[in-house]
Chain A
């Protein structure tokens, strides 16, 4: 194992919870909480999977997703979007932009683990 997951999320409690459960499951978790500098963080070391929140300070998750898909090095990295808004159009938008999975807060830990495992084995 030891696959690397990058979690981009601004709410400290959620970061702690998700990092905790993924680390327990054997993933190497990196976190980042600012939208504006998120792309730089990704470029420092392309992870195997990105979990990306939509509402971020500085820059929206959708914009970051668009950039990720536009870059050759990151276009193939699976992205799982998290959002607290949970309206149908948000999901459509995420999928259109190339997100691999879309998850609405609040989620159960089992859901998260299941999704991450599924994405990583693809």
Chain B
């Protein structure tokens, strides 16, 4: 007999392997090597989370009970995927242009970024998915129980419970570790996707292996197997027309509406072209998964003792034939099916809970200005982690309460029918511009209620949730409300009955209410965006003129996207406008783009609300609506080529204008330069000459003479420094600078700079993270130190805070090491930011500083000569400068 410990060992090894795979994928993705991680093969395999433990174990049980009917569960998704050109393609395009994070986000975003609809879909999804998660836990523990029993250990219910709990905890850890790492849904979860792709192959391989063993190993080939099938009792079962069609419909709908399917199908899609491959490869996967189901069921019924659970034939059949290796493989297949489903479902639900329930309530609980001050990013990550734990806890509790009695297929179907209630709002939303949020809300409410009454509650069994008398006579004796005979129509199969009434009433109320009510402007705009997504794939502007400041927006974006990503977005936008630096003009287009970017992290409704707080609620006006979403579709005739051209011209014009402004300013400065130099030189000379006259001419007391001599000394030093700076700048500008290349640690250079600037003894508090500074730099260390000294002494001189602080942060961005110097003073006003690197460009309050305004100009020249850069970094709460060190690879190669 097989050792139970061996099974545990193998499972643990397998889990460790999955962690490793996910970790390696994350590593590769972090290095930017996403090539094959984004391939269409991985995409297709990730879709296989449709095949859960229900498929792996339950399909055989289903076939044993109802014959061919199990096939409908695969035919539905097959229809959706070979018909991807109709719907899936549109969903994926919408998902990517609108940066959707979940199915709840799709509904919320389509219907005017409505928070209420998001909450409704989220609740529906949780109610529909929790039993399903419980089902996966149950199937894993049951199959473990099979092995335990075969090795002679009788399992108590307590053992099942603790096994289920450990599985749930393990899955929570995995999902938290790889699912809440990056916030932007656009960045995608490479680790998880690759892990489930591996699991997809394992479960397919396992099921095929068992099938081949059964057909050729036990039954003796294809012919005898077919004879066996025809001879079996279940060949008498003929498909019932209503159930056959209904099941195909439900499985097709669930394939689109299940939160986990939406996650892999739409959210994780990184290339529309992968759909072409998935369109045939995924149906092929389903075909292979279901190919051997009937043979296994028939042979199992034939060989296994009376009363054996057909749901577990896939494991028990090889075990009873003494094929332990095969049994373990089969167990791993079932384990893979269960875990991959739970991981993705939990992740998708956690995203929905955090984006549609937790974060909006958190934002509401804070004062309006809080958008810029709160740390949204942390809240989102923490709320996601908590949600993951909560959802798995729900699944576990449901598992404990239900006691694991119900046949797998029943829970699966009830759950499917629940999520399909979203289908009318979804299909209506992408194909019908008239659909509005009142209709969607009404449809969801009605569908959810009817489903709960006719399918969900009865699924607990008679007298469990609904009493026997209600089943017989209806609630309060109202006969036409009987859960399985609504409106007095009896004799229907309960499944068909529930499906028919829930979908019929759902769709009818959705359409009727939509027809009778009016959408708001934002809904109409979004409606046009969704329905005509192929006509304008860049997304419309939902903002008109705005009072928002670029810097405020940057501060907010940094809180959600993280510093680097937000700065990158702003810099790219500024560049596309033909500007340098980090602050683009705040155009409606830009706000729209930024909102979508934020929506990728926190969902459309929240992103919209947050931007709304900063822009003081100037949302779409009627004119904007007409301009963008005019139903006469004039806009569609608008040649996109022309648009591109004029955008290009505008960019060029803007760049020219800016260059011209720069030149004018520079030429004025050039004039000013001479008189500046004159001023800077003559001022100390005046003191020197005057005091030396005094000393030469008169009798001066001793101490006064000493003092005057001191001033002369000090002023001549000032002159020397100034001349040094000027010469330095001259050499640097002419490009004839001699670099003294050397190798050293960045920490040393910073240490040296802090000491040389005298800041370590002054009032300025310097905060550093030595761990990040262990970077070897290969450059002119003295010159680099000179730049650092300049920046540090600037902070010491100009930081206006009562307790001045300077943070020096070293980090790696896009292969470059950057050093940020951020103080807590007032910062530099927007309009001066582009001038501070020019010669003699001291800010307003000169005089105090005692410098000639050459420092930053020299810094920029030095960094240029070293192959790096120094820029002003806005939005950091004080003055902040970013020194980008030269690319290390390039220098290492020298």
Distance in angstroms from B673 CB to nearest chain A CB is 12
B846 at the interface (CB under 8 A from A): yes
Among A10, A84, A87, A90, the residue within 8 A (CB) of B686 is A84
Contacts of A109 in B (CB 8 A): 690, 693-694, 697
Contacts of B698 in A (CB 8 A): 24
* B678, A21: Cβ atoms closer than 8 Å: no
* B690, A57: Cβ atoms closer than 8 Å: no
B711 at the interface (CB under 8 A from A): yes
Q: Which B residue sits closest to A13, measured CB to CB?
A: B687
B205 at the interface (CB under 8 A from A): no
B538 at the interface (CB under 8 A from A): no
B27 at the interface (CB under 8 A from A): no
B679 at the interface (CB under 8 A from A): yes
Contacts of A108 in B (CB 8 A): 689-690, 693
Among A17, A20, A84, the residue within 8 A (CB) of B679 is A84
- Cα A108 to Cα B694 in complex, Å, equals 10
Residues 105-119 of A, flagged 1 when their CB comes within 8 A of B and 0 if not, give: 111111000000000
B535 at the interface (CB under 8 A from A): no
Distance in angstroms from B700 CB to nearest chain A CB is 9
B691 at the interface (CB under 8 A from A): yes
* B679, A85: Cβ atoms closer than 8 Å: yes
Given contacts A14-B687, A24-B698, A107-B689, whether A57 and B675 have CB atoms under 8 Å apart is: no
* B694, A106: Cβ atoms closer than 8 Å: no
Contacts of A86 in B (CB 8 A): 678, 682
- Cα A109 to Cα B691 in complex, Å, equals 9
A55 at the interface (CB under 8 A from B): yes
Q: Which B residue sits closest to A56, measured CB to CB?
A: B847
A18 at the interface (CB under 8 A from B): yes
A67 at the interface (CB under 8 A from B): no
Beta-carbon contacts under 8 Å, A54-88 to B? 55, 57, 84-87
* B679, A106: Cβ atoms closer than 8 Å: no
Given contacts A11-B683, A85-B679, whether A106 and B690 have CB atoms under 8 Å apart is: yes
* A57, B847: Cβ atoms closer than 8 Å: yes
Contacts of A18 in B (CB 8 A): 690
Q: Which B residue sits closest to A10, measured CB to CB?
A: B847
* A14, B679: Cβ atoms closer than 8 Å: no
Distance in angstroms from B684 CB to nearest chain A CB is 8
Residues 407-444 of B, flagged 1 when their CB comes within 8 A of A and 0 if not, give: 00000000000000000000000000000000000000
Distance in angstroms from A94 CB to nearest chain B CB is 14
- Cα A41 to Cα B689 in complex, Å, equals 28
Given contacts A16-B711, A17-B694, whether A107 and B846 have CB atoms under 8 Å apart is: no
* B693, A110: Cβ atoms closer than 8 Å: yes
Distance in angstroms from A102 CB to nearest chain B CB is 14
* A17, B690: Cβ atoms closer than 8 Å: yes
Given contacts A20-B694, A57-B847, A110-B693, whether A11 and B678 have CB atoms under 8 Å apart is: no
> Which 3 residue pairs of A and B lie closest in terms of their CB atoms, listed nearest first?
A17-B690, A84-B682, A13-B687
Binding site for A on B (CB under 8 A): 674-675, 678-691, 693-694, 697-698, 711, 715, 845-847
Given A10-B847, A11-B687, A14-B687: 17 more A-B contacts, CB < 8 Å: A11-B683, A13-B687, A17-B690, A55-B679, A57-B847, A84-B680, A84-B682, A84-B683, A87-B675, A90-B675, A104-B682, A105-B686, A106-B690, A107-B690, A108-B693, A109-B690, A109-B693
